[in-house]
């Protein structure tokens, strides 16, 4: 018999189409940055994520041979100009006309150096030589005993390129070799990866500051839908300027890479804290929720909905500053074209997704983010997700139909106020939910101050009074008619009529008699 999945390690919820967050490069979770759109990412520690906009279409050309130039498997290697797959090989010194470009460093594929790899790619990209010509030069090394000769000199010797052309490539090759594939930034290492993006730690040279750079994988660099979604995330983030939102700096393209530069945030995520401590103390959870609600209010005021609020997208710096990250699913509230295109499809993370997102409704708005924040707050203070199951479909069905177990029933140490707020945030009907994040903030701050949440408590009181009234009505004593004796003849309507007529005639006769007596006396 299968056991329910654990809320802090939801491994069964990893179907195709999973995951936008990434696994940190280090175990302590420091130096993370958000990863955007996601699909088919097989991270065993990542909660399931439903397919992203544009990922439903199957890639019919995936199995077809490509005419593109050979590319290293590791993006980091390309960005930093490091070794590819093989350890360094000793190089024999040999003068060549291309020596200024092709000084050897570490070995790359087919026995070549990392510089040769970069040079070969640039030569092909710029149309100076064909792919087959470059491969011919590389393959000729063993047969012609030219193991010490650089690719540059081979290209010149075979008249595929000229010295002048190679000289023009020298600075570009050196820049890539120094880790400046993205102009103005030096990549220092990899922070993490998802199916739709890889994130690198880099230094912005002009301002001498650390940044995080999200890079679209090269396998998606020719897919217009992926590229459009990637730039949409960058533009959405750039529209926001709030202390509790990861700041966007730049978005663009450098060669084959589409990149998105953002604020580098050191620290951990709320998910990390849940895994480490299970439950978050109520006051601490309220502080985090207040910061996120304020960030969401700013986004909603700017016309954007996040659509993927969850513990892994909430970061906390060592100084305690809360940052909402990952706008990979963000969409303009009034973007009717996008809403219609996504109609009937569920986008989000099953553990925290709102009912209207599950149904794929067109008019998904700010209240969807409120629901997801409520589910996140529930997870923080109880140590378990609101609804669990063996697979995403089961979890989502519970979001739609199953009653929510009140948080203070799971964790009796919680105050009644925070339980009321969470229950209102997670109301299945939007009519019963908070209208906006302004109302959420009022109640969260009230509970934080030890006061009664005015919006949630008002609704709770009204509901309780209605329930009491209904119970009183249902429990009222019933009047039971005694039918053990024979019915009275006066219960018959005809008898009643005859009695009335008889009384009327009798009264008339008495009246006439009295009147006649008075007349005789006078």
> Which residues are catalytic, by number?
308
For CA atoms 361, 366, 369, 373, the dihedral sign is negative
Q: Between the CA of residue 516 and those of 250, 499, 507, 521, what are the distances in Å? A: 117, 26, 14, 9
In Å, how far are 93, 301, 309, 448 from 451, measured between CA atoms?
79, 27, 27, 7
Q: Please state, in angstroms and rounded to a whole number, the distance separating the CA atoms of residues 140 and 146.
A: 8
> Would you state the structure tokens that stand for residue 366, as one six-digit string?
């700010």
**Token pair belonging to 229:** 């979604």
Burial class of 60 by CB neighbour count within 10 A (0 to 12, 13 to 18, 19+): exposed
Instruction: Name the token pair of 453.
Output: 């949440």
- The residues, ordered by sequence, that sit 6+ positions from 425 with a Cβ below 8 Å of its Cβ are 370, 371, 373, 374, 377, 433, 434, 440
Q: Answer positive or negative: Cα dihedral of 288, 290, 291, 292.
A: positive
Inter-residue contact 1 to 23 (CB < 8 Å): no
Q: Is 211 helix (H, G, I), strand (E, B) or coil?
A: strand
How many Å apart are CA 71 and CA 120, to the nearest integer? 10
The structure tokens listed for 443 are 């109640």
Contact 196, 329 (CB under 8 A): no
One DSSP character per residue, 133-185 reads HHHHHHHHHHHTT-TTS-HHHHHHHTTSS-HHHHHHHHHHHHHHHTT-SSTTE
């Amino acid at each position: 018999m299968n056991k329910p999945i654990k809320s802090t390690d939801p491994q069964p919820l990893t179907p195709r189409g999973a995951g936008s967050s990434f696994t940190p490069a280090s175990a302590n979770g420091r130096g993370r940055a958000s990863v955007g759109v996601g699909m088919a990412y097989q991270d065993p520690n990542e909660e399931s994520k439903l397919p992203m906009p544009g990922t439903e279409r199957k890639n019919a050309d995936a199995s077809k041979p490509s005419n593109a130039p050979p590319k290293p498997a590791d993006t980091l290697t390309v960005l930093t100009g490091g070794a590819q797959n093989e350890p360094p090989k000793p190089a024999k010194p040999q003068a060549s006309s291309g020596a200024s470009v092709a000084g050897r460093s570490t070995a790359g594929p087919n026995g070549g150096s990392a510089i040769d790899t970069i040079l070969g790619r640039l030569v092909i990209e710029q149309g100076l030589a064909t792919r087959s010509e470059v491969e011919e030069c590389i393959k000729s090394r063993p047969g012609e005993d030219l193991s010490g000769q650089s690719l540059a000199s081979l290209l010149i010797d075979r008249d595929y390129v000229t010295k002048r052309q190679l000289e023009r490539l020298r600075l570009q090759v050196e820049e890539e070799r120094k880790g400046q594939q993205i102009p103005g930034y030096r990549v220092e290492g990899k922070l993490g990866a998802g199916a739709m993006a890889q994130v690198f730690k880099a230094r912005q040279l002009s301002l001498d500051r650390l940044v995080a750079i999200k890079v679209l994988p090269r396998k998606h660099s020719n897919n217009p839908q992926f590229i459009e979604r990637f730039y949409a995330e960058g533009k959405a983030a750039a529209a926001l300027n709030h202390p509790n939102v990861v700041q966007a700096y730049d978005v663009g393209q450098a060669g084959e890479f589409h990149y998105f530069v953002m604020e580098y945030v050191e620290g951990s995520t709320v998910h990390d804290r849940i895994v480490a401590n299970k439950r978050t103390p109520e006051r601490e959870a309220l502080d985090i929720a207040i910061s996120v609600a304020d960030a969401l209010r700013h986004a909603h005021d700017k016309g954007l909905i996040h659509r993927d609020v969850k513990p892994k997208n909430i970061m906390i710096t060592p100084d305690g500053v809360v940052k909402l990250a990952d706008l990979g699913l963000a969409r303009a509230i009034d973007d009717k074209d996008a809403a219609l295109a996504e109609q009937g499809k569920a986008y989000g993370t099953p553990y925290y997704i709102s009912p209207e997102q599950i149904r794929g409704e067109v008019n998904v708005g700010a209240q969807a983010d409120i629901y997801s924040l409520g589910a996140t707050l529930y997870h923080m203070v109880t140590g378990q997700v609101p609804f669990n199951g063996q697979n995403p479909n089961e979890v989502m069905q519970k979001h739609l139909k199953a009653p929510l177990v009140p948080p203070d029933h799971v964790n009796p140490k919680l105050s009644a106020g925070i339980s009321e707020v969470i229950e209102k945030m997670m109301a299945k009907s939007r009519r019963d939910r908070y209208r906006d994040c302004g109302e959420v903030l009022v109640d969260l701050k009230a509970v934080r101050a030890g006061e009664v949440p005015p919006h949630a408590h008002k609704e709770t009181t009204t509901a309780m009074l209605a329930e009491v009234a209904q119970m009183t009505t249902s429990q009222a004593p019933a009047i039971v008619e005694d039918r053990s004796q024979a019915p009275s003849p006066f219960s018959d309507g005809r008898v009643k009529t005859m009695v009335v007529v008889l009384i009327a005639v009798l009264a008339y006769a008495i009246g006439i008699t009295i009147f006649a007596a008075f007349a005789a006396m006078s």
